[in-house]
């Protein structure tokens, strides 16, 4: 049943790619914030919007509700495709979109440009993120980009591993891509996991970029047909090893605790929770590097609560939220000043979470036919990533 649901969501996402900019845009950009409507609804990754229910130390919702009167409701989404589907359906105000979803949302007309003048803390955003290509688009062709959201957090997709099986950190992603005997003397068959999302094809491409340079891969999101097929072949090989294709962070946590899974690509969020539980877990970025995510809070074109939505956009940049969220999720704040003076994050938290690794991460991006280089329009677009990855998971 879970795979059927995933397939439906993926097909919705594929269809959403074809609507281009045909959806009518909502009203003109707001020029001032009025009285709050009493509510704001957010589509978010797990762990991104906390009100102290999981851990009372982590709560950046209660104070916002008290100050603004805007009651926050959250729809958790486990994949970018699910976020795209939910936002294209409507009825939500905001979404914490990763780079493999953000431009699809812009292209479909599901999100609107934001007025940076209404976000006083914009100037505090990391300069590396302020004009990032995954949330800025020159949609009207006047040579000036519009900002389609506010940077939220960023970080790498790490290799999470069981320290009782790996006394030393694995140096390569081969432990999840190649059949082998692990340091504990047992095979990795049935003991590894892979991400349940088409963008994971980029992880296979990144692995091949390092180990098979003759393929000529220079960007794991810009793959011509031969490069794409090579990545699929690697993923078909990996399928024989996989215990589960995960997309629910908490199910993956349970798999490492109770199901004998010992290695997988993961988020720092799962690593932090498992370490807090006393599990023998650590993470690393192997020699091939890592893909990663830089998430943007984007506003629906027809947001039902635009005033509260703008209030949240400003709140999302507050030092406490940025620092507390980075400590909770194992991510990096979009506001560098949040790296200092946060009791939960600590003085070295941002360095530990990879603040200085920005240039090393291959951030998620929606693949298009345009390779972005002199090859022209010969690269495999995202719609084929969706259908082909569903096929890999299904054994084709």
Residue range 272-304, pLDDT digits in tens: 889 989 999 999 999 999 999 999 999 999 999
At residue 129, does pLDDT exceed 80? Answer: yes
**What confidence tens digit (pLDDT) does each residue in 314-351 have?**
999 999 999 999 999 999 999 999 999 999 999 999 99
For residue 22, how many other CB atoms are within 10 A of its CB?
Answer: 9
Angle at 33 between CA 32 and CA 37, to 5 degrees: 150
**What confidence tens digit (pLDDT) does each residue in 226-244 have?**
999 999 999 999 999 999 9
pLDDT given for residue 1 in this prediction: 37
pLDDT given for residue 324 in this prediction: 97
pLDDT given for residue 3 in this prediction: 39
Contact, 16 vs 88, CB < 8 A? yes
At residue 6, does pLDDT exceed 60? Answer: no
For residue 167, how many other CB atoms are within 10 A of its CB?
Answer: 8
Contact, 158 vs 353, CB < 8 A? no
pLDDT given for residue 101 in this prediction: 95
At residue 21, does pLDDT exceed 60? Answer: no
pLDDT given for residue 28 in this prediction: 73
Average pLDDT over residues 92-110: 95
At residue 207, does pLDDT exceed 50? Answer: yes
pTM value is 0.84
Question: For all residues of the chain together, what is the average pLDDT?
Answer: 92
For residue 18, how many other CB atoms are within 10 A of its CB?
Answer: 10
d(CA 326, CA 304): 29
**Ordered structural domains, the chain, with CATH:** 2-155+293-359 (3.40.190.10), 156-291+368-393 (3.40.190.10)
At residue 75, does pLDDT exceed 60? Answer: yes
At residue 183, does pLDDT exceed 60? Answer: yes
Contact, 271 vs 158, CB < 8 A? yes
At residue 185, does pLDDT exceed 80? Answer: yes
Confidence of residue 270 (pLDDT cuts 50, 70, 90): very high
At residue 4, does pLDDT exceed 70? Answer: no
Backbone phi, psi, residue 169, to 5°: -60, 135
d(CA 291, CA 363): 6
């Amino acid at each position: 049943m879970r795979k059927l649901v995933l397939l439906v969501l993926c097909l919705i996402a594929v269809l959403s790619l074809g609507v281009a900019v045909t959806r009518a845009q909502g009203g003109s950009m707001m020029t001032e914030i009025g009285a709050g409507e009493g509510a704001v609804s957010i589509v978010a990754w797990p762990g991104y919007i906390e009100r102290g229910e999981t851990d009372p130390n982590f709560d950046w919702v209660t104070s916002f509700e008290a100050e603004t009167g805007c009651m926050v409701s959250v729809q958790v989404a486990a994949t970018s495709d699910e976020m795209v589907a939910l936002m294209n359906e409507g009825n939500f105000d905001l979404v914490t979109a990763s780079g493999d979803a953000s431009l699809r949302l812009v292209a479909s007309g599901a999100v609107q440009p934001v007025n940076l003048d209404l976000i006083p803390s914009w100037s505090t955003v990391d300069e590396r993120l302020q004009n990032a290509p995954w949330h800025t688009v020159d949609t009207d062709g006047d040579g000036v980009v519009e900002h389609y959201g506010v940077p939220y957090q960023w970080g790498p997709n790490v290799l999470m591993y069981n320290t009782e099986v790996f006394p030393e950190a694995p140096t390569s992603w081969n432990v999840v891509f190649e059949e082998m005997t692990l340091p504990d003397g047992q095979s990795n068959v049935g003991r590894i996991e892979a991400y349940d999302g088409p963008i994971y094809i980029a992880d296979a491409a990144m692995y091949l970029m390092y180990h098979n340079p003759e393929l000529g891969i220079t960007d794991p999101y810009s793959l011509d047909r031969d490069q794409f097929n090579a990545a699929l072949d690697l993923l078909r090989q990996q399928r024989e090893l996989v215990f589960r294709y995960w997309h629910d962070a908490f199910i993956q946590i349970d798999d490492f605790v109770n199901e004998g899974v010992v290695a997988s690509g993961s988020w720092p969020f799962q690593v932090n929770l498992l370490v807090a539980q006393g599990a023998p877990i650590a993470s690393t970025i192997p020699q091939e590097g890592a893909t990663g995510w830089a998430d943007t809070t984007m506003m629906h074109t027809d947001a039902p609560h635009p005033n509260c939505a703008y209030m949240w956009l400003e709140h999302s940049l507050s030092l406490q939220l940025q620092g507390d969220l980075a400590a909770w999720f194992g991510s990096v704040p979009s506001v560098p000043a949040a790296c200092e003076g946060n009791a939960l994050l600590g003085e070295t938290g941002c360095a530990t979470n990879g603040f200085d690794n920005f240039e090393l991460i291959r951030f998620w991006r929606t693949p298009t036919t345009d390779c972005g280089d002199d090859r022209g329009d010969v690269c495999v677009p995202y719609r084929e990533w969706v259908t082909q990855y569903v096929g890999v998971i299904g054994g084709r």
